[in-house]
Amino acid sequence: MQLTDYVNTFGDYLKRRFGESVHKLSLSGNFTCPNRDGSLGFGGCTFCNATSFTASSSVKSIAEQLSLNRSGKSLKYLAYFQAYTSTYAEAKELNRLYLEALKGADIVGLCVGTRPDCLSNEALDLLAEIQACGYEVWVELGLQTAFDETLKLINRHHTFNDYVTAVKRLHDYNLKICTHLIIGLPSEELLHNLTTLELVLNEGVDALKLHQLHIVKGALMAKQYAEGQIKVLSLEEYAQIAAKIIQYTPKDILFERVSASVMDDSLIAPMWSKHRWPPINAITTILHEQGGQGSLVGEVFKKL
Ligand code: SF4
């Protein structure tokens, strides 16, 4: 019994597309974020770890990162600009970074993580050009929730409507979209997550990434958590909600991730996030017992 028996995973999609396992190589382009540099705000999203921003001088070149991060387990890789807002730079700089990342013969594509309000025409032109050359290209959009009240509460400085606009533009460019959602945000419960899912599916999406709310050192939420203003989900609560999201998602949508882990000492809560497999195994067990991806499509949302 494994997750891939019940979920249409991104890993399996890549295997089908490339005939072998393809791993993502995480890269930092030394980007910042409009929610940090003052364009929109200085504090950042309340769950984001400010202390992990790195001084520009200490960031390694893309070539160095690519060589250091290759795992040896895979023959093909997607270059993944993961840190912060990886479309938030001048077109010339994006061009330099993306093309440098694609230089290796074993790099078959590019993934860029960004905000819905940070997609310039130049960035989209560039990504579409790269895709037209035969590379696999994914834009990973941080949405987290479709509820504007929650987006405000966590200081995202964008709205769901910004996401809708971004998705329309990405569709115009024929670029693939992976949307990131957080389960367990303050003031939210299962019905918020399922409503967010419905709204995201209505706009059209190719893949989803789910993860639990983490409280990490350096984030504004660390203080709120210490003061008892916010709570985190138990592993069982998280697995129940994640499983429901998967069951309400049509089978053709890929899941890039169904939970996340924080393996360094920045994690404050929940401590079960230190380990990768317990949440995946708990979700798999629920899907095995109650039905896998797509099994609740068309059903009215049910409370847990
Ligand atoms: S989560 Fe993303 S958008 Fe929010 S502050 Fe961190 S880098 Fe910026």
In a domain, 207, yes or no: yes
Cα-Cα-Cα-Cα dihedral sign, residues 283, 138, 95, 70: positive
142 within ligand 1 shell (Cβ under 6 A): yes
In a domain, 295, yes or no: no
pTM for this model (two decimals):
0.95
The residue ranking higher by pLDDT, 183 or 56, is 183
The Å distance, Cα 114 to ligand 1 centre, comes to 9
Output the pLDDT for position 240.
Answer: 98
The Å distance, Cα 77 to ligand 1 centre, comes to 25
The Å distance, Cα 84 to ligand 1 centre, comes to 6
Q: If you compute the radius of gyration of the chain from its CA atoms, what whole number of angstroms results? A: 19
Q: Which residue has the CA at smallest separation from atom 4 of ligand 1?
A: 45
Of the candidates 62, 188, 79, which has an alpha carbon nearest to the alpha carbon of residue 135? 79
For the cut 80, the answer to whether the pLDDT of residue 50 exceeds it is no
In a domain, 105, yes or no: yes
The residue ranking higher by pLDDT, 295 or 54, is 295
Give backbone dihedrals phi and psi of 23, rounded to 5 degrees, phi first: -105, 155
What is the residue type of 103? Answer: K
DSSP codes, 130-183? HHHTT-EEEEEEEEE-S-HHHHHHTT----HHHHHHHHHHHHHTT-EEEEEEEE
Of the candidates 95, 33, 24, 98, which has an alpha carbon nearest to the alpha carbon of residue 62? 98
Confidence label for 303 from pLDDT (cuts 50, 70 and 90):
low
Of the candidates 304, 112, 88, 118, which has an alpha carbon nearest to the alpha carbon of residue 193? 304
Is 254:294 a contact under the CB 8 Å cutoff? no
Cα-Cα-Cα-Cα dihedral sign, residues 77, 78, 83, 87: positive
Q: Which atom of ligand 1 is nearest to the CA of 32?
A: 7
The residue ranking higher by pLDDT, 57 or 227, is 227
> Once rounded to an integer, what is the mean pLDDT over residues 83-95?
93
84 within ligand 1 shell (Cβ under 6 A): yes
Is 100:73 a contact under the CB 8 Å cutoff? no
In a domain, 300, yes or no: no
Distance in Å from the first CA to the final CA of the chain: 24
CATH number of the domain that 139 lies in?
Answer: 3.20.20.70
Pair of tokens at residue 222:
């660390």
In a domain, 226, yes or no: yes
Confidence label for 51 from pLDDT (cuts 50, 70 and 90):
low
Of the candidates 182, 193, 202, which has an alpha carbon nearest to the alpha carbon of residue 253? 202
Number of domains in the chain: 1
Percent of the chain with pLDDT over 70: 94
For the cut 50, the answer to whether the pLDDT of residue 54 exceeds it is no
Q: Which residue has the CA at smallest separation from atom 2 of ligand 1?
A: 84
In a domain, 130, yes or no: yes
46 within ligand 1 shell (Cβ under 6 A): no
Q: Partners of 216 in the beta sheet?
A: 267
Sort residue 37 into left (φ over 0), alpha (ψ -120 to 50) or beta.
Answer: alpha
Q: Which atom of ligand 1 is nearest to the CA of 115?
A: 3
The Å distance, Cα 215 to ligand 1 centre, comes to 14
For the cut 50, the answer to whether the pLDDT of residue 55 exceeds it is no
| Residue 76: C-alpha distances to residues 14, 139, 144, 171 (Å) | 10, 19, 29, 27
Comparing 71-75, 210-214, 274-278, the range with the smallest average pLDDT is 71-75
In a domain, 304, yes or no: no
Distance CA 212, CA 194 (A): 15
Pair of tokens at residue 97:
């970074």
Domain with 26, as residue range(s), is: 3-290
> Once rounded to an integer, what is the mean pLDDT over residues 207-217?
97
In a domain, 145, yes or no: yes
Pair of tokens at residue 52:
């992990």
The Å distance, Cα 267 to ligand 1 centre, comes to 17
Output the pLDDT for position 72.
Answer: 66
For the cut 50, the answer to whether the pLDDT of residue 294 exceeds it is yes
User: How does pLDDT run across 230-261, given as a tens digit for each residue?
Assistant: 999 999 999 999 999 999 999 999 999 999 99
> Once rounded to an integer, what is the mean pLDDT over residues 51-73?
68
The Å distance, Cα 220 to ligand 1 centre, comes to 12
Q: Which atom of ligand 1 is nearest to the CA of 155?
A: 4
> Once rounded to an integer, what is the mean pLDDT over residues 261-265?
90
